[in-house]
Amino acid sequence: MKFDKPAGANPIDRLKVVGLPHDRIDGPLKTTGTARYAYEWHDETPDAAYGYIVGSAVAKGKISSMELEAARNAPGVITIVTADNAGKLGKGDKNPAPLLGGPDITHYHQAVAVVVAETFEQARAAAELIKVEYRREKGSYDLAEEKPSVNKAPESEPDKSTGDFEGAFAASAVQLDATYTTPDQSHMAMEPHASMAQWQGNKLTVHTSNQMVDWCRSDLATTLNLPPENVRVLSPYIGGGFGGKLFLRSDILMAALGARAAKRPVKIALQRPLIPNNTTHRPATIQHIRIGTDKDGRISAIAHESWSGNVAGGPPETAVQQSQLLYAGANRFTGLRLAKLDLPEGNAMRAPGEAPGLMALEIAIDEIAEKAGVDPVEFRIINDTQVDPANPDRPFSRRQLVECLRTGADRFGWKNRKAQPAQVRDGRWLVGMGVAAGFRNNLVMKSGARVHLDANGRVTVETDMTDIGTGSYTIIAQTAAEMLGVRLEDVVVKLGDSDFPVSAGSGGQWGANSSTAGVYAACVKLRETVAAKLGLDPQKAEFTDGQVRDGEKSAPLKDAAAGGTLTVEDSIEFAELEEKFQQSTFAAHFVEVGVDMATGETRVRRMLAVCAAGRILNPKTARSQVIGAMTMGVGAALMEELAIDERLGYFVNHDLAAYEVPVHADIPEQEVIFLDDTDPVSSPMKAKGVGELGLCGVSAAIANAVYNATGVRVRDYPVTLDKLLKGLPELV
């Protein structure tokens, strides 16, 4: 199905099932432990051996020798795989660095060997017996040191300029010129990267934890020099990914190599200390923002440049993309700069680009608003735009940022905020409020599904879409139930199998909208098939309560499959509309914090997110996504930071003991409001994504609230107490 014009009225608009807050249909499986994750397919592989990965002890250099004899002779050891005996390997398109190192080492904790043994404990003990000698080479690990030498945009991300920024900025009545930094961050999903591999001849089956089944299958086949049809990837349940499981990673490859060498199934779960250095992370940024306004606070010039680093071939952190679209202003400039660093791979982490970009931009907006003497909410409102600022002929399909801000200000009690910082005290706590706009582009991807109808009226949906805890099972079931007029409990959803039609996968906030649109397309085809079987007009037939009606004629839906199960398959393909319309999602984030006036300890007191993100397919699962994202924003604002050993080139705090993330007690009150934002330009579902929007802007709202509480402006994340203490003694 081609989606090349705005959606008209369709069966989804009935909202009998879609749009209602249904419980997650996979919830009972997860709470009873019967939803099997990648490491738990014991029935299918009762004889699975255990793999344990050895990571490089240097960040850059070469392996000069590797002593394996003691490990090979250790109890229970079946085999050891290294670059010397793995055979010739390719490299997937989405892996800048080889997943198996040797003799060259690209980054710290790059896999250099996998030990396969009868038990996990035996594999771990044997791995400790491997002695590796390295020739360490000097590496580049400090973005700030590399920044002065990096002044050109990467070929993949050219600078964008509209009007005369330099001239307009110089002539502006009010100016801001400031630099902000965000640190390297880790995904820290609850479930580690885990895989179980099994060979049958030259065919490979992998149970894994991966967000993008088709990407994984393709790159795994390329790496192993296999035809894609010889690789099957299954990933029905994922215990968190946040972008860290978008791509093929070493647990999958090393399980496959170990299983081939051992001639039996092998399972691997990356040990937690290996994950931050061995997989991917959100790269650090240095962001330079300049904004000029007239005396009334209207933006006349805005520029945003961002520096980030990565291994050779890795992408930049696209931290300027929201600044191209969020606010009006005739004179504009954005640019990305990419330094080559010898740190582990940097790549997507929840809301890549906008999340770190808004951490800087939305502080800058507060700073220029204060300089102009305009309330921060009102400043954002007067600089709203309903068109792409660089292309005024291209309107936003839907843009309700102003409504988000006004609704949030009213609900949060913004009128009670004191504009002058450090004016509100509650005992020893200095109390402040902060606001930030949220923005995330609405991305869509081709997505397919297969739908079956059996003689009992049961509908089964198959697609390789994944569920990373987001509710994919439920919203896909809701879509099929709505389209075919059956109860939610009459729909079975099967996900995460590369034998199923290729979907959008989970990532980039495109998954829910694209995958349900793919199911919609398949259900349209099934409706036509059913109507033809029942002798009804496909264009007029209505599907409701298990019946199919056309005027006075009606028949039970199940009768169409009396002669055998009906099966159809289709995909949604998006074209042209994204060129005619700018499609984005918007939010307003409000936060109240307390800062201890003596210690600088910051506590979030309450949070509010008002979101305009298309039709909300399931308010219950969507709210869960947003409050999870808000919590992630608290971590980024106040505590999350991968500390780099700049002598040796690795992340020191590479486990959950030292990498701090928020817990329930850190955030006592969170509220989410969804505006009615049905968008026919987005898809037949008229939906958009919301899971990443809930993060975008949150950290800046917290930093702005801390400033309002204390008068101390912190431009370098995280906003830790040591950065506040110097400004606090005068307040005591």
Q: What is residue 201's DSSP assignment?
A: T
Report yes or no: 220 and 251 within 8 Å, Cβ to Cβ. no
Distance in angstroms (rounded) separating the CA atoms of residues 677 and 687: 8
- Confidence band (pLDDT; 50, 70, 90) for 726? confident
SS3 call for 666? helix
Say what the pLDDT of residue 578 is. 86
Q: What is the chain's mean pLDDT, rounded?
A: 97
Q: For 400-452, what is each residue's pLDDT tens digit?
A: 999 999 999 999 999 999 999 999 999 999 999 999 999 999 999 999 999 99
Instruction: State whether the Cα torsion 338-342-348-351 is positive or negative.
Output: negative
Residue type, 246: L
Say what the pLDDT of residue 731 is. 53
Query: Would you say how long the chain is, in residues?
Result: 732
Say what the pLDDT of residue 703 is. 98
Catalytic residue, from 191, 305, 462, 692: name it: 692
Instruction: State whether the Cα torsion 497-500-504-509 is positive or negative.
Output: negative
What are the distances in angstroms from CA 541 to CA 34, 478, 482? 39, 20, 14
- Confidence band (pLDDT; 50, 70, 90) for 57? very high
Distance in angstroms (rounded) separating the CA atoms of residues 505 and 465: 5
Do domains 38-138+192-273 and 386-442+583-731 share one topology? The answer is yes
Q: For 603-631, what is each residue's pLDDT tens digit?
A: 999 999 999 999 999 999 999 999 999 99
pTM exceeding 0.85: yes
Q: For 69-114, what is each residue's pLDDT tens digit?
A: 999 999 999 999 999 999 999 999 999 999 999 999 999 999 999 9
Domain 2-35+444-578 has CATH 3.30.420.40: no
- Parallel/antiparallel/unpaired status of strands 49-55 and 266-269: parallel
Q: What is residue 279's DSSP assignment?
A: S
CATH number for the segment(s) 386-442+583-731 = 3.30.365.10
Domain 38-138+192-273 has CATH 3.30.365.10: yes
Instruction: Report domain extents, the chain.
Output: 2-35+444-578, 38-138+192-273, 386-442+583-731
Distance in angstroms (rounded) separating the CA atoms of residues 513 and 532: 29
Count the neighbouring beta carbons within 10 Å of the beta carbon of residue 14. 16
Is residue 489 flagged as an active site residue? no
What are the distances in angstroms from CA 437 to CA 326, 390, 585? 9, 20, 11
- Closest alpha carbon to 689 in 442, 439, 325, 355: 442
Buried b / exposed e over 42-75, threshold 16 CB at 10 Å, is: eeebeebbbbbbbbbbbbbbebeebebeebeebe
